[in-house]
Amino acid sequence: SVLENAAFSLDAEKLPAAEIKARALEALRLVGAEAWAARRPQELSGGQQQRIALARVLALRPKLLLLDEPLSNLDAASRLEVREVIRKLVRTTGVTVLCVLHDQKDAFAMADRLAIMHEGRIVQAGLPIDLYRRPADSWIATFLGSANLIPGKVTQVGAGEFVAETAVGEVRGALATPESAPAAGAKIVVCVRPECLKLDFMAPDENAFAGSITASLFQGDVSLHDFKTKEGVILKISEANPRQRVGSKATVFAWAEPEDVVGLNR
């Protein structure tokens, strides 16, 4: 039964039968599976079976839980279900969970702190939002999500900010690593996330690029655009809550706030 499965890890503890049952039921309750105690594991869905696997470990009352791809081989609904169970466990029990994941969205949704590994070493660690908005380099930027990367040359730098000349014109933004700020004249990679670019028929004062939309993919809550600047550079734009269709022949401006533009050393 599911209850026996949850109690399996306690067999070697030589505890009284009543305590084993109580701890197994407690573990099932923690993962929201107490009502399934009498069922057979093969009667459960993939997401439900993953909950039982978590309960089996939680019955031991660990201080540290190491999970290796706990969401793999689950359908979309089950992934969301198990993801929320793990987050709830952290909040309610205080257990520390070290979780190995390869899906960036799962990592963002579950992590309090995130460490990115590349070629066997940690290349950046911190809060998920900080890693996404201020990646240390181009590889991390594209690993964590879609990014427009534009090479340029620094013309001004100071107070954690930079101005660079690029193929799409002058760009102002924030340095990802101010402690290793490049000198004027140095090469830089300008990173702008697609969702940070906005479309307008009027040109803002800075970080505005004239061009036209060459392709669009409507996805309901967002539209994904290919935007070709007048210089011929293709930028990816993710437009939330799209309300109007911009014709492919219309000249519009793609622009970004300076705090949404990141300067990378490589």
pLDDT score at 36: 86
Report residue 180 CA to chain centroid gap. Answer: 25
User: From the CB of residue 238, how many other CB atoms can be counted at a distance below 10 Å?
Assistant: 18
| 13 close to 62: Cβ distance less than 8 angstroms | no
pLDDT < 70 stretches in the chain: 244, 246-249
Confidence (pLDDT) at 224:
94
Residue 156 has φ and ψ, to the nearest 5°, of -145, 150
CATH number of 138-264: 2.40.50.140
| CATH 2.40.50.140 domain position(s) in the chain | 138-264
Is residue 131 within 8 A of residue 123, CB to CB? The reply is: no
pLDDT of residue 132: 96
- Taking the CA of residue 227 as centre, how many other CA atoms within 13 Å lie in the half-sphere pointing to its CB? 28
Considering the domain 2-112 in this protein, what is its CATH number?
A: 3.40.50.300
User: Residue 8's pLDDT is what?
Assistant: 84
Tokens describing residue 250: 């219309």
CA separation for the pair 113, 131 (Å, rounded): 10
Q: What is the pLDDT of residue 133?
A: 96
d(CA 157, CA 230): 27
For the chain, give every residue range classified as CATH 3.40.50.300. Answer: 2-112
